[in-house]
């Protein structure tokens, strides 16, 4: 089911999707499976604004960085060559080895950004003072 999700999902959202697809599985089992996938490098993980973990199946070509919309939760992979070079440079400068890093980039996508026309509503109803009003999930059933 995680492979069908285009955006990051929480363990609870994944559990709900599995139950809706007639998969009898407990939330604890979902958490355990996600933890194993994370340990094995099978998923990418970002945090939502509340600090909760969101998961997305890692592509076959490996580790990626994402820009995640704070309004709707949509994510886009970004060119991470600069981040990887930066982490390598810090490792070399400090004498550390096997350096791992977590970089989280968030922003507001074009669909969620308030329009230049004052009266026009945005599809995600994004309010920078409040944060996301709900995230759009794009998972095939």
What's the domain count of the chain?
1
pLDDT at site 117: 53
Residue 53 has pLDDT above 70, yes or no: yes
Q: pLDDT per residue over 63-104, tens digit each?
A: 778 888 888 888 888 888 888 899 999 999 999 999 888 788
CA distance 114 to 137: 21
Query: Quick check: is 119 in a domain?
Result: no
Q: Tell me whether residue 51 is in a domain.
A: yes
Domain annotation covers residue 88:
yes
Residue 26 lies in a domain: yes
What CATH number corresponds to the domain at position 92? 1.10.10.10
DSSP 57-93: EPPTT---EEEEETTT--EEEE--HHHHHHHHHHHHH
Q: Which residue segment(s) compose the domain that 75 sits in?
A: 2-107
pLDDT tier at 130, thresholds 50, 70, 90: very low
Say which DSSP state 27 is in.
H
Q: Quick one: which of 8, 104, 6 has its CA closest to 54?
A: 8
């Amino acid at each position: 089911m995680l492979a069908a999700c285009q955006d990051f999902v929480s363990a609870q959202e994944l559990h709900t999707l599995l139950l809706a697809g007639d998969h009898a599985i407990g939330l604890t089992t979902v958490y355990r499976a996600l933890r194993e996938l994370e340990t094995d490098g099978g998923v990418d993980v970002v945090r939502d604004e509340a600090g909760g973990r969101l998961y997305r199946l890692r592509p076959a070509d490996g580790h990626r960085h994402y820009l995640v919309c704070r309004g709707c939760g949509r994510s886009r992979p970004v060119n991470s060559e600069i981040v990887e070079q930066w982490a390598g440079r810090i490792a070399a400068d400090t004498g550390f080895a096997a350096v791992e890093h977590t970089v989280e980039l968030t922003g507001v996508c074009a669909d969620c950004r308030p329009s230049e026309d004052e009266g026009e509503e945005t599809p995600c109803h994004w309010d920078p003072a409040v944060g996301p009003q709900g995230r759009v999930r794009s998972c095939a059933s």
